[in-house]
Amino acid sequence: MDRTNPIPCTVMRGGTSKGLYFLKKDLPEDGQQRDALLMRIMGSPDPKQIDGLGGAASVTSKVAIVSRSERPGVDVDYTFAQVAVDKPLVSYKGNCGNISSGVGPFALEKGLVNPKEPVTTVRIYNTNTDKVIEAQVQVENGRVQYDGDFAIAGVPGTAAPIKLSFLDPMGSVTGKLLPTGNASDVLDIPGFGQVEVSIVDAANPLVFVPAKAVGLSGTELPAQIDGDPEMLRLLETVRGAAALKLGFVSSIERSAWESPAVPKMTIVAEPKDYEATSGTAISQDQIDLTARMMSMQKTHPTYAMTGAMCTAAAAVIPGTVVNRALRTDADPERLRIGHPGGILEAGVEFEPENGSVRIVKTSGFRTAHLLMEGKTYC
Q: Which residues pair with 303 in a beta bridge?
A: none
Structural domain spans, the chain:
7-170+367-376, 185-358
d(CA 219, CA 212): 11
CA torsion through residues 118, 74, 306, 33, sign:
negative
185-358 has the same fold as 7-170+367-376: yes
Count Cα atoms within 13 angstroms, Cβ side, for 63. Answer: 28
CATH number, domain 7-170+367-376: 3.10.310.10
The pLDDT value given to residue 4:
73
d(CA 134, CA 122): 6
Length of the chain: 378
Report how far apart the first and last C-alpha atoms of the chain are (Å, whole number).
Answer: 6
Q: Which of 62, 53, 78 has its CA nearest to residue 374?
A: 53
Task: Give the domain 185-358 fold.
Answer: Diaminopimelate Epimerase; Chain A, domain 1 (3.10.310)
The pLDDT value given to residue 356:
85
Per the CB < 8 A criterion, the answer to whether 305 and 337 are in contact is no
Per the CB < 8 A criterion, the answer to whether 26 and 8 are in contact is yes
φ, ψ for residue 250, nearest 5 deg: -85, -20
The pLDDT value given to residue 2:
59
- DSSP H or E segment with residue 98: helix 97-100
Q: Is 47 exposed, middle or buried (0-12, 13-18, 19+ CB in 10 A)?
A: exposed
**Blockwise average pLDDT, block size 10, the chain, 378 residues:** 82 98 98 97 98 97 98 98 97 97 98 98 98 98 98 97 98 97 97 97 98 98 98 98 98 96 97 97 98 97 97 97 97 97 97 91 98 94
The pLDDT value given to residue 1:
52
d(CA 258, CA 152): 32
In three-state secondary structure terms, 150 is strand
Q: Which residues pair with 66 in a beta bridge?
A: 23, 78
